[in-house]
Amino acid sequence: MNITDNTILITGGGSGIGLEIAKALSTTNKIIIAGRNKEKLDAAAKGLENVFTIQADITNEQDVNRLIEEIKVNFGGLNILINNAGHAYAYTISDTSDTYSKAVAEFETNYFAPIRLTEKLLPLLKQQENAAVVNVSSIVAFAPGSHVPTYSDSKAALHSYTKILRHELAKDTSVKVFELMPPLVNTDFSAEIGGRENGIPASEVADSFVNALINDTYEIRVGITEVLYNNFFANSEGAFSMMNA
């Protein structure tokens, strides 16, 4: 895939993996980073070339409609959508009485919001010769983590949706569909579950992602995710034990 002269939208682009992807691609593309916090977005974009910000809550349909209208008016179109925004709770099912509410919040951001945003932006993407949808799932899409149970569920659902979307869009469109599957990453997002101590750098995830785009590697299993993936299909119980050791 051509990774220059694109207009790219990254949700949750104000920090972590989203920001590192923006940095990696900003010198040769127009990058739009979107998120809830305007100050955080502006601080992230400061000093970066070709990076623009739009404040929007992707779980709010009015915000989504405004985001899309701004993209149409101010940028004239879109080549690549990166559904990166995420939400997670670290807890165990046996020690809480509000699993349901946590699951609803996680699915709203991690699953339903990407589906809606993708559906609304597909008409723009289909107009381009070089276009892609990228969904950021997780290593826990394959083997759930007991410390992030319903987050794991939401990422497994996103993985399934991504495979179906890729299959359908390959039939009669030029839109390619990628899935980025990082392991534990050293970001603010994962600090609660040990990301600071045990996570890989977000820049490593971004580098793997850019290389996969260039080579049209549609399932991007970064670092230990590849090991877990291979173990999962050989021995699903072993993969589960590996995740929850």
The pLDDT value given to residue 52:
98
> What's the whole-number mean pLDDT along residues 106-131?
97
The pLDDT value given to residue 237:
77
| Lowest-confidence pick of 20-29, 118-127, 142-151, 206-215 | 142-151
- Active-site position among 151, 161, 218, 229: 151
Q: Is the pLDDT of residue 53 over 80?
A: yes
CATH architecture of the domain covering 6-244: 3-Layer(aba) Sandwich (3.40)
Residue 4 pLDDT level (bands cut at 50, 70, 90) = very high
The share of the chain scoring above pLDDT 90, in percent, equals 83
* DSSP H helices in the chain: 16-25, 38-45, 61-75, 99-107, 113-126, 149-172, 195-198, 202-215, 224-234, 236-243
Q: Is the pLDDT of residue 242 over 90?
A: no
> What's the whole-number mean pLDDT along residues 91-119?
95
- Can 100 be counted among the known catalytic residues? no
The pLDDT value given to residue 243:
73
Residue 238 pLDDT level (bands cut at 50, 70, 90) = confident
DSSP-derived letter for residue 199 is P
| Lowest-confidence pick of 54-58, 79-83, 127-131, 194-198 | 194-198
Q: Is the pLDDT of residue 68 over 80?
A: yes
CA 129 to each of CA 30, 73, 75, 105, 143: distance values in angstroms, whole numbers, following the listed order: 17, 20, 17, 36, 36
Give exposure, 171-187, as e/b (b: 16+ Cβ within 10 Å): eeeebbbbbbbbbbbbb
Q: Is the pLDDT of residue 240 over 80?
A: no
Q: Which two tokens stand for residue 25?
A: 């691609």
> What's the whole-number mean pLDDT along residues 44-73?
97
The pLDDT value given to residue 128:
96
Specify the 3-state DSSP secondary structure of 31. strand
